[in-house]
A and B are shown apart, each in its own frame.
Chain A
């Protein structure tokens, strides 16, 4: 059972464009939603995270939008740069468990110069 569904699988964006990656979840017990960024040959690294008590969180060019009623959240990368090319994973952790990350399948982002 895939508890966090991520789309698209891959995304190609021109430099300066907006990259949007979407995730949906089923488990209403999830209460923390991090996004991880993974470059080839490296492990995932935390990029940005949000709790369901806010609808948006912004850090630099990266923004998470959260819709609790729809059980959906998304990552927006503004002014996308070639250096942003990586695989992005959304994830979720349920209340009562501060460790068990449930990951989406990942989105391979390519930003063309």
Chain B
């Protein structure tokens, strides 16, 4: 398996522009997570999907952020409009079904720079 696939790997954009990050989870995984990593705040969970349904979006910083999962093999995280403080590495992770605690497999991340 190729693992979790994210694109693009690097994104540089200007403040005010729309940014879309993409993720393909591992086939068969029914849980998908979006994280943000910064030096100041570390790794933060933004949103969690289970069976394509958003279960917990309490980590989404504000309305400028939105995430979708139209099917089991694709998810997007959109920032509109982007701001310099959104600069971070964004990770997508997926996990297998099961209890009690499922290992989360992380993708390589998208490094976002907003100028």
Question: Would you list which residues of chain B between 1 and 23 have a CB under 8 Å from chain A?
Answer: 4
Q: Is the CB of A42 within 8 A of B100?
A: no
Interface on chain B toward A: helix, strand, loop, or mixed SS? strand
Question: Would you list which residues of chain B between 77 and 115 have a CB under 8 Å from chain A?
Answer: 91, 93, 95, 99-109
Interface on chain A toward B: helix, strand, loop, or mixed SS? loop
Q: Which of B33, B50, B100, B103 has the most CB of A within 10 A?
A: B100
Query: Is B42 in contact with chain A by the CB < 8 A criterion?
Result: yes
Question: Would you list which residues of chain A between 90 and 109 have a CB under 8 Å from chain B?
Answer: 93, 95, 98-101, 103-106
Query: Is B45 in contact with chain A by the CB < 8 A criterion?
Result: yes
- Look across to chain A and name the residue whose beta carbon is closest to the beta carbon of B55: A99
CB distance from B23 to the nearest CB of A (A): 11
Q: Is the CB of B42 within 8 A of A106?
A: yes
Q: How many residues of B contact A (CB 8 A)?
A: 25
Contacts A99-B31, A99-B33 given; does A46 touch B104 at CB 8 Å: yes
Question: Interface on B for A, CB 8 Å cutoff?
Answer: 4, 31, 33, 42-45, 48, 50, 55-56, 91, 93, 95, 99-109
Top 10 A-B pairs ranked by shortest CB distance? A43-B106, A103-B43, A32-B101, A105-B42, A46-B103, A98-B101, A44-B106, A43-B91, A93-B101, A98-B100
